Structure 1
Amino acid sequence: SRLTSYFESRHTVIGLARKRNNEATINNIIYTTENNWIEKIVEFEPNIIINTIACYGRHNEPATALIESNILMPIRVLESISSLDAVFINCGTSLPPNTSLYAYTKQKANELAAAIIDKVCGKYIELKLEHFYGAFDGDDKFTSMVIRRCLSNQPVKLTSGLQQRDFLYIKDLLTAFDCIINNVNNFPKFHSIEVGSGKAISIREYVETVKNITKSNSIIEFGVVKERANELMYSCADIA
């Protein structure tokens, strides 16, 4: 992943994965399918853990899958390092918990971490991430979907597009990780940080910009997709 490639030249890095992947870019990987995966984490004695595991529910996964990935997995890891002076950085979301089951489970993980952090030697830092994007994103990600459909001149069906979002380039996110790690001693035991560009643009503006840059013949159909009941109309990181 971009994250491991970014850090492995300066740090000893191991990965924690739920399933085997032949395209993995890191040699040292602990798989959660192994019976002793918790023990292996403790043996490694990490001083920084960055949790990027997430289930978004984009493919109609059951609620139990989101609970396992977004709540139980990070809490298990946090408990496993309770005796280590380590920093657990949890990649969360800026979305309010009533937006989706994904946002709800992510928030619950942070609430549980706050409840048990006093029993842990290290620290817990929650990152409220805005909409980050970059190379190698999956096709199911909104930014990638729009680019892919515009490049192939396919129609793009959307809601009103009036929602405003804070788009953050992946390299800027990696820089944010660096900044947090380099200043970790300045943070309290439990801390939340908003991570974004600090500027919001409308979905409509983003899509129209992609269409213009790609010189696409795609028909952009705003308003044909119904907005969610709890649609968030504005999201932007406070980076002041």
Structure 2
Amino acid sequence: MSYVFAVSWLQEGPFALRRWAALFEDLPLFIQSFFYTIGLSIGALIIAFILGVIIGISSAANNRFIRTLMRIYVEFFQNTPLLIQVFFVYYGLPLVGIILDTYTTGILCVGLYHAAYIAEVIRSGIGSVNKGQFEAGQSQGFSYWETMWYIVLPQAINPMLPPITNQVVNLIKNTSTIAVISGADIMFTANSWSSFNLNYVPAFATAAFLYFILCFPLTKLSTYLEKRNKEAYTR
């Protein structure tokens, strides 16, 4: 009886060989979605990093009005779900005549969302630098932005690297939200392919593996950077 069950399970169960054979036949679809996700992540990261640096530096400015504006941006994006932001941009903006394709929507939404988190990392890194460094820059005639760029940020970059790397990992994983608007990313491909043939286990196992390939090296890099920083401060 157990033998019959085992044979039946291998033929029709979630791990049936025919399901994996079907996956390997359509593997190019998953590889294509893998590179789509990489492109989406790179585009979003560029937006997140540039905007995050600007907002982070501005958040430490002496101008209260600017600090308030930056705080509003950070609080809004950190306290509203990325999924709602994606729906708003993709389905809401066309109502006022602004139509964006799925790929552009993904880059924009994920980038703006993670800019808020990177901005907080930048702000915390700036806060870790002794205030005397600001005064030294100003005494040499540097402007606020010149002081930040040439004096403060070079000193703050080491403690900022581990959390920024973690944000990159989170950004890559959050690109999966684009599946809800039919973006051709890893998650959408796994979901649509498995819905067609009911091979859910191979589809989502492959999706998990592809995300792992992207995120695991960055996670190890973050751990290494954090360990290196701790060793530097304990010497």
Identify the structure with the greater strand proportion: 1
Band the TM-score falls in, shorter-chain normalisation: under 0.3
TM-score in terms of structure 2 length: 0.26
Higher CA-based Rg: 2
Q: Which has the higher contact order (CA 8 A, sep 6+)?
A: 2
TM-score in terms of structure 1 length: 0.25
Identify the structure with the greater helix proportion: 2
